[in-house]
């Protein structure tokens, strides 16, 4: 028989909520390591703006590891803030990649305009949608913190 004071499944580590939360955090770890490796291998360091993802990913990885060890309210809030930074940096990257491609396409063909310019910019030399991976990782991290039981108990 279930007691009226029994914690819901999300608060029990063995419950479905706890399992999904661990999977989400594992995805953040694996995705962050993968992006760091890819950016390093691509030598994504040619300008100051190319360092932005590194400056997000490294503290994000450390914070994710910290949360995995002990998901205290303060660690969860720091992690959440860094995940918002992932989303913002991903959006900025999408804009910068698109803008760079647009400038490149206009240098190649100054008569391009409208949808033709947009299409060629999306398909340009710099992978326009690549920064979306950083944005996506941020959203996964935010999903991990959504209604986290340790944050809920800290508010009471």
Joined tokens for residue 16: 């479905």
Q: What is the pLDDT of residue 152?
A: 82
Q: What is the pLDDT of residues 73-124, one digit of tens each?
A: 999 999 999 999 999 999 999 999 999 999 999 999 999 999 999 999 999 8
Joined tokens for residue 49: 């703006």
Average pLDDT on 14-20 reads: 77
Q: What is the pLDDT of residue 14?
A: 53
pTM over 0.85, yes/no: no
- Residue 46: partners with Cβ closer than 8 Å, 6 or more residues away: none
Q: What is the pLDDT of residue 18?
A: 87
Say which DSSP state 128 is in.
T
- Residue 27: pLDDT band with limits 50, 70, 90: very high
Joined tokens for residue 101: 């491609």
* DSSP assignment of 73-126: HHHHHHHHHHHHHHHHHHHHHHHHHHHHHHHHHHHH-TT--HHHHHHHHHTSSS
Is the confidence at residue 51, as pLDDT, over 60? yes
């Amino acid at each position: 028989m279930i007691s009226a004071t029994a914690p819901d499944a999300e608060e029990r580590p063995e419950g479905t909520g706890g399992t999904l939360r661990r999977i989400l955090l594992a995805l953040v770890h694996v995705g962050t390591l993968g992006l760091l490796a890819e950016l390093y291998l691509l030598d994504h360091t040619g300008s100051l703006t190319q360092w932005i993802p590194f400056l997000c990913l490294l503290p994000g990885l450390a914070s994710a590891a910290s949360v995995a060890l002990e998901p205290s309210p303060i660690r969860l809030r720091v992690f959440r803030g860094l995940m918002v930074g992932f989303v913002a940096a991903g959006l900025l990257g999408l804009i910068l990649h698109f803008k760079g491609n647009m400038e490149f396409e206009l240098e190649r063909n100054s008569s391009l305009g409208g949808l033709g310019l947009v299409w060629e910019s999306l398909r340009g030399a710099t992978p326009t949608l690549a920064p979306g991976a950083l944005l996506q990782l941020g959203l996964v991290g935010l999903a991990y913190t959504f209604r986290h039981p340790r944050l809920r108990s800290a508010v009471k």
